[in-house]
Amino acid sequence: MWLLANNFFICILYHCHVLQHIQDVDGLLNWDKTKIMIIHNKKNIVIPASFSFRSFEIEVVPEFKLLGVIIDNKLNFTSHVNNLKATINKKLNSIKQLFFPSKPVKIQFFKTFILPHFDYCLSLTIYFSKPAIQSLSNSYYISLFKLIHFKAQVFTDFNIG
């Protein structure tokens, strides 16, 4: 299966040679910006640093950012969650250092600057691991507590009622 997006090839390899299946796409791609990712779940797989195709060297990357979502070669989205948490913490700290706003202003800041990060690509969370979902959930509640001192029940297990 191939997905072409922003000059990245995402490959799912079974038992085939990847580059022999590329048709004549010379006019469609900027080969200098083209990267390849091999998606796998094997532990002891040797992945080359690059592939040679015609006269081009195509770099193999372990992850890349596509439309704000970091996709890695294991499809576990841990890098994306960590990046999201870091971005949220930076914005949260910036908001807290500005001044001492009232609670309604803090809530508006949360809705405007923090909440969109949790909402963006929310449908992808069905593919996240349980620890990644838990980490993201905890980050949400911690950001609510840091900004507006809202205490919520934080679950450590998703097997609830």
3-state secondary structure 17-45: CCHHHCCCCCCCCCCCCCEEEEECCCCCC
Are 11 and 2 in contact by the 8 Å Cβ rule? The answer is: yes
Q: Using alpha carbons only, what angle is made at residue 90 by residues 85 and 92, rounded to the nearest 5 degrees?
A: 90
> Is 46 in the same domain as 81?
no
Q: Is residue 61 domain-shared with residue 80, that is, in the same domain?
A: no
Q: What is the pLDDT of residue 116?
A: 92
Give strand ranges (E) for 43-114. Answer: 50-53, 56-60, 63-66, 69-72
For 111-127, write each residue's pLDDT tens digit. 999 999 888 888 888 88
Arithmetic mean of pLDDT, 141-154: 80
Last residue of a domain, one of 45, 66, 87: 66
Residue 155 lies in a domain: no
The Cα 161–Cα 149 span in angstroms is 27
Cβ-based neighbour number of residue 22 at 10 Å: 15
Q: Is 33 within a domain?
A: yes
Does residue 158 belong to any structural domain of this protein? no
Asked whether residue 123 is domain-assigned, the answer is: yes
Same domain, 110 and 129: yes
Instruction: Using pLDDT thresholds of 50, 70 and 90, give the confidence band for residue 154.
Output: low
3-state secondary structure of 10: strand
Q: Are residues 37 and 91 both part of a single domain? A: no
Would you say residue 157 lies in a domain?
Answer: no
8 Å CB contact between 121 and 128:
no
pLDDT attached to residue 155: 59
Q: Are residue 83 and residue 139 in the same domain, yes or no?
A: yes
Residues 19 and 21: their CA atoms lie apart, in Å, by 5
Asked which of 66, 96, 118 is the last residue of a domain, the reply is 66
- The answer to whether the beta carbons of residues 52 and 33 sit under 8 Å apart is no
Q: Domain residues for 46?
A: 2-66
User: What tens digit of pLDDT does each residue of 17-64 get?
Assistant: 444 445 545 566 677 777 888 887 777 777 778 877 777 788 888 888
* Minimum mean pLDDT range among 77-91, 97-111, 126-140: 97-111
Find the radius of gyration of the CA atoms of the chain: 21
The reply to whether 57 and 83 lie within a common domain is no
In a domain, 71, yes or no: no
Residues 80 and 134 occupy one common structural domain: yes
- pTM for the model stands at 0.69
Domain count, the chain: 2
- 83 within domain boundaries: yes
27 within domain boundaries: yes
